[in-house]
Structure 1
Amino acid sequence: MTRRMARYALYFTPSADSAWGQAGSCWLGRDTRRPDTAEQVSIPGLPKLLLASLTSEARRYGFHATLKAPFRLLDGFDETHVLEMAHAFCAEQNAIVLEQPCVRPLDDFLTLQVSGPLDEIGGLAMRCVTYFDLLRAPLSSVELARRRCTGLTARQEALLQRWGYAQTEELFRFHMTLSDALTQVDADVVYALRKAAEQHFAQTAAMAPLVLDGLTIAREEFPGAPFIEWQRIAFSAQDKRATLPSSGRVFFCVGPSGVGKDALLEWVQQHSSASDRAVFARRVITRPAHSNEMHEVVDVATFWQLAAGGQFAMVWQANDFCYGIRRGVEADLKAGRDVIINGSRAYIPQLRQAFPDATVIWIEANENLLRERLEARRRETGPALLKRLKRGSEFIAPDEPQVIRVDNSGPLEVAGQHLLKILRS
């Protein structure tokens, strides 16, 4: 099975080694870190096979509370983006002590519920739903049909269309599922199951508080596979107010051919540090790479297939070639990382629509130097060279605060230090 078939869910799961983690694993008969089953609790008067059948679907998901329902990744995103955003998200969240955990029915299921603090829990869940929705692929027709099979209200249908799941916003109810649907189960069996669950989890509640203290990324490798705890990331905001991560900034670097953009950006990248939290976007271009470039090479047909599939955050054409920036940069921005892009002056109007707060770095050099550099690199001669030079004079830097001019007529280090200072400001 390929990773494209995988689904990811954002859960709260107690640490597997904690009293609550062990109690949940024992009740369902499965440790969420592994796909196989473990020893399940014994209930007097209830055969083990019957207990296993009453908890089979709950066991597949593991002992958890849903914060964002399972989703497939939208084309253009991968697991590195999930992790990057998850770490940024968890750094801004506080642990929540859950009050009075107890066993209660929810619709046709047996669940573990809490009495509070409901506003804090709901706020965390909604931050999770909205923040990670960038990564979510739309539901397929089969998935939509499955979620509608029980019948939805108009409000639930609206939430399903918006978030891919109906039980969000004001309909969210924090719970940890302990059984499958019990509609066709004998009342005496349901009673025995509930009493056993109450006793089982009351003992755990007497031992340790239940604390919502981290985010678990669970992964379903293929339809019907058990959800496995892939990553569990602790909340670390501590005493500050829980919020969403601040977005990173877009720096769109432009300039005429021969101005030395590639060399300048390479210098800045080499002199950047991890603390700068900067991403230098790799371009997709329909021409071969040169010795001083590291772009991704594709042919024209492949380029437009990628574009039609939503793989690009930005697309433009210049000098008879197609350029694209893969949409993974959107996840970088959500995770608070600045994105530096080697761009095109002609694309600035579209940039303003897609990223209104983007800063344009307008790199320039004197005209004679531009010609010398173009001639020295020997990519074009004759009419092609004249066309490059003519295009270079067709654009004038706008006089506005979001456009910063950098002169690259002198030593590379001088312009590099200037640009590095801008990026760190």
Structure 2
Amino acid sequence: MTDNGFNTPAENSCDANSSGANVNENPRYALYFAPIHNDAWWNAGMHWLGRDAATNLTVAQPGVANGSSANLHQLTTDARRYGFHATLKAPFRLENGFSEAHLVAMAHSFSSLQNAFEVKDLGVHRLGNFLALQTTDPASKQQISALAMRCVRYFDLLRAPPTKAELTKRRKTTLSDRQEALLAQWGYQYTEEEYRFHLTLTDSLVSQDKEFAAAIRRAAEKCFSTAVATTKPFMIDGLTIFKESFPGAAMTIWKHFPFRPAPDATSIAGPDFPQQGRLFFVVGPSGVGKDALLQWVQARLPEETNVVFSQRCVTRPAHASEVHHVMTSDQFFQAEQGGAFSMTWQANETRYGIPRGIEADLKAGKDVVVNGSREYVPQLRQLFPNATVIWIVASPDIIRRRIENRQRESGVALENRLLRSVAFGANQDENIIYIDNSGPIDIAGSQLADIFSAKT
């Protein structure tokens, strides 16, 4: 029904979501369960609400005794806009520095580890002031609540803080102190012990008389009677991302990620979250051939590699000797203030930034290679304690010749760069891997490729 997007490459754009555009106009994404693989439940749900969230087409709604489909249409206005679903993680905007590709990569990695499971005793019930499909089975409730909390925790890295308007909407009803704390922590108050699994069927019924509210419930039970009576179990079998393209737009199905088949009695439980990827921080003095070495390795790793090479953002014009995203000083400052970088440093009056998207790549289980700075290693170890530092070295004569050959500096600038090259010597450290690049590039390149390709 929808493209699963598994082949979408992860992005490491320096200015992803950091252009200064009005945050209120950015799309919102929600992590939902939607029974799109279960025809009886999906068909009943879209007919009841009057909209197919997969195609965004209007669907005729059933009539209601003592009323009409027009009454039902009015009483399902909000529910229809959000589509037939159960919330796992409430709608959110992407934080600066993250892209849709990061969301897709994380969703793919997360869903590949989740087991499908059956929900028993699902039926129409009153939940607060509205009707919803809910389960009365304690074991099913526990499984779904655990899944929802895994979604909340794992994907929260990508969530931008709610806007003032969104907070106001969340507080339309009076919140308890605990709900306020959950809202502050997760951007949504109905998480952890406050979570209630449900597929919303109506808006508030408070203003309806008891007779008509009862008629609405009977109509809902009739609409879902075929699905309830089916011998096919109701399965939580995937994660579906719904997207709201602009404020007030209908939430539509954007990507679907299937779970693993339900395990049998002999299955061994696996991890709930993807294993964190490895971070490789490659450093070395100017002229050591670090950029050429990384390009050599990147060109020779297999296409199906799990290694991502982060592109640096640099306030220096492009040059054949290195590959980077060029930014002006003002652009860099705006991106930095907007939180688009995981790391920043300055050298030779040039600013360097590593896009924050590497954090999503690591959570998705990808290994990330960063072209780094020797001076930044102490800060790196504070931010990423498990990072592997790889220090490229070469003889002083080789370094001088390479710097002169690339013709990027001359005169005083050249001498200053040569002085800086020896200012931070490769002091022996058992926590650092050293590779000598004084000889042919394939020798050091093969060593580096072997490190990146090694299995943990």
Asked if TM exceeds 0.5, the reply is yes
Q: CA deviation at 1:281?
A: 0.6
Matched, 1:211 2:235: yes
1:322 matched residue in structure 2: 351
Deviations 1:163-217 (CA, angstroms, capped at 9, x unpaired): 0000001111110001001111111111011122223323212112110100110
Tell me if structure 1 keeps the 8 A contact 2:40–2:226. Answer: no
2:104 matched residue in structure 1: 83
Moved over 6 A (4+): none
Q: CA deviation at 1:331?
A: 1.0
Tell me if structure 1 keeps the 8 A contact 2:277–2:368. Answer: yes
Matching residue's letter, 1:211: M
1:73 matched residue in structure 2: 94
Q: CA deviation at 1:237?
A: 6.7
Return the match for 1:379 from 392, 408, 426. Answer: 408
1:270 matched residue in structure 2: 299
1:63 matched residue in structure 2: 84
Matched, 1:130 2:153: yes
Return the match for 1:228 from 227, 239, 252. Answer: 252
Measure the CA separation in 2 of the matches of 1:15 and 1:273: 35
Q: CA deviation at 1:401?
A: 4.3
Q: CA deviation at 1:398?
A: 4.9
Return the match for 2:219 from 191, 196, 209. Answer: 196
Gaps of 5+ in 2: 1-20, 264-268
1:22 matched residue in structure 2: 43
Deviations 1:239-272 (CA, angstroms, capped at 9, x unpaired): 4435011111110100001000111000100011
1:102 matched residue in structure 2: 123
Matching residue's letter, 1:253: V
1:119 matched residue in structure 2: 142
- Structure 1 window deviating more from structure 2 (336-345 vs 393-402): it is 393-402
Return the match for 2:360 from 331, 334, 337. Answer: 331
1:263 partner SS: helix
Tell me if structure 1 keeps the 8 A contact 2:117–2:262. Answer: no
Measure the CA separation in 1 of the matches of 2:429 and 2:260: 39
Matched, 1:396 2:419: no
2:266 matched residue in structure 1: none
Matched, 1:5 2:5: no
2:16 matched residue in structure 1: none
Matching residue's letter, 2:235: V
- Structure 1 window deviating more from structure 2 (34-43 vs 351-360): it is 34-43
Tell me if structure 2 keeps the 8 A contact 1:218–1:230. Answer: yes
Q: CA deviation at 1:10?
A: 0.4
Deviations 1:332-363 (CA, angstroms, capped at 9, x unpaired): 11111111011100111111111111111100
Q: CA deviation at 1:35?
A: 2.5
Matching residue's letter, 1:373: R
Matching residue's letter, 1:233: F
Q: CA deviation at 1:16?
A: 5.8
CA RMSD of aligned residues (A): 1.6
Measure the CA separation in 2 of the matches of 1:118 and 1:128: 15
Matched, 1:174 2:222: no
Q: CA deviation at 1:112?
A: 0.4
Tell me if structure 2 keeps the 8 A contact 1:397–1:403. Answer: no
Measure the CA separation in 1 of the matches of 2:428 and 2:174: 57
Tell me if structure 1 keeps the 8 A contact 2:38–2:234. Answer: no
Matched, 1:256 2:285: yes
Measure the CA separation in 1 of the matches of 2:100 and 2:296: 29
Tell me if structure 2 keeps the 8 A contact 1:16–1:22. Answer: no
2:68 matched residue in structure 1: 47
Tell me if structure 2 keeps the 8 A contact 1:16–1:31. Answer: no
Measure the CA separation in 2 of the matches of 1:353 and 1:376: 36
Deviations 1:14-66 (CA, angstroms, capped at 9, x unpaired): 01662111111111111111223211122333211111111111111111000
Q: CA deviation at 1:299?
A: 1.0
2:270 matched residue in structure 1: 241
Tell me if structure 2 keeps the 8 A contact 1:358–1:402. Answer: no
2:58 partner SS: coil
Return the match for 1:341 from 370, 382, 406. Answer: 370
Matching residue's letter, 1:152: L
Matched, 1:350 2:379: yes
Measure the CA separation in 2 of the matches of 1:321 and 1:348: 18
Gaps of 5+ in 1: none
Deviations 1:50-89 (CA, angstroms, capped at 9, x unpaired): 1111111111111100000001111111111111111111
Q: How many residues align?
A: 425
Measure the CA separation in 1 of the matches of 2:427 and 2:59: 66
Measure the CA separation in 2 of the matches of 1:380 and 1:292: 12
Matching residue's letter, 2:356: R
Q: TM-score normalised to the size of structure 1?
A: 0.97
Tell me if structure 2 keeps the 8 A contact 1:256–1:392. Answer: yes
1:374 partner SS: helix
Measure the CA separation in 1 of the matches of 2:427 and 2:313: 27
Tell me if structure 1 keeps the 8 A contact 2:33–2:236. Answer: yes
Distance 1:129 1:401, change over 3 A: farther
Matching residue's letter, 2:29: Y
